[in-house]
Amino acid sequence: MINVWENTDPRDEAANFVAVWDIGATVLLDGTGEYAALLGIRGVPTNVLVDEHGIVRVVGGTTPDELDAAVAELLDGDGG
């Protein structure tokens, strides 16, 4: 997860979000929005799936079904 909260303290907002949703994943902070722009992200939330080598494999996928399908594809080896 990459946090790009605007007009707030990104560390506090990310910590609150992680606590509320019980997220056990790594959270990155993109305070300038530069990385989000590089990925072509125009709105939030946007999910970004990264493989074990740090390569971005999926940008998007917002519904649970879309995310499940993208993760299954990556785990099956079809995604890279």
45 preceded by cis ω (within 30°)?
A: yes
Question: What global pTM score does this model have?
Answer: 0.58
Backbone angles phi, psi at 53, to 5 degrees: -100, 5
Q: State both tokens at 29.
A: 């902070």
pLDDT confidence of residue 15: 85
- In angstroms, the CA 31 to CA 27 distance is 12
- Tens of pLDDT along the chain (80 residues)? 566 656 677 788 888 888 888 888 777 788 778 888 888 887 777 788 888 888 888 888 678 888 888 888 888 875 45
What is the reported pLDDT for 3? 65
How many angstroms from the chain centroid is the CA of residue 13? Answer: 15
Per-residue model confidence (pLDDT) at position 1: 59
Locate the domains of the chain by residue range.
Answer: 1-44, 47-80
Instruction: Point out which residues pair with 3 in neighbouring strands.
Output: 29
**pLDDT at 78 (0 to 100):** 52
